[in-house]
Amino acid sequence: MGNVIDTIERLGLVPVIKLEDAKDAVPLARALLEAGLPVAEITFRTDAAEASIKAIAGKLPEVLVGAGTVLSVDQAKRARAAGARFIVTPGFNPRVVDYCVENDIPITPGINNPTGVEMALERGLSVVKFFPAEASGGTVMLKAMAGPYVGVRYIPTGGISPDNLARYLSMKQVLACGGSWMVPSGLIAEGKFDEIRRLVKEAVTLVEHAREK
């Protein structure tokens, strides 16, 4: 799990991607790679997720591809078989988390309160997804939880935008952020990968500037 987490921390931003057609997976992943953000969280919200992960893992192994919105053990198994190198869940599903921990599959479960943090710590996990970040109190909530849970790192997702990205990344508790503004579904469906590449480059610059402060 170390290599996956280290890579995500180094990049600082995880594109959360909804793909309706697996044919768009490789062109999108190539755009991410060329823009300097070689990581993709493909959400299991569409039927194309499994095939998309498989395509990226097979043709662009230099892109760290994972599966998001994983709601069941079956989805976790399918994602892993397709080549997903990490699993992300929107909430804390004990069955999914336990399966991943027992099988050494990197997982960042979703939490938004102290109970979720303690459930993660009980399973030896110190990196969690903070979701939905803005709706759950944003940086104010993260600061409140930082006191009792020293050493826990968060990947805030949900409501993250260019306007608040720097505020999150300025916190030492934040490992990276998850966002979808640079990979909008409309541009993907229209095949406008040059525009996506531009948006991703802008996002990478935002991360760099946030970390310089």
Q: Where are the domains of the chain?
A: 2-212
Q: What percent of the chain has pLDDT over 90?
A: 98
Please give the positions annotated as active site.
Answer: 41, 129
pLDDT of residue 3: 93
CA 29 to chain centre: 14
Rounded CA separation 82/32 (Å):
20
pLDDT over 90 at 112, yes or no: yes
Q: Are 177 and 168 in contact (CB under 8 A)?
A: yes
Integer Rg of the chain from CA: 16
Please tell me the class of the 2-212 domain: alpha beta
Q: What is the pLDDT of residues 17-69, one digit of tens each?
A: 999 999 999 999 999 999 999 999 999 999 999 999 999 999 999 999 999 99
The pTM for the full model equals 0.96
Rounded CA separation 44/26 (Å):
17
pLDDT of residue 176: 98
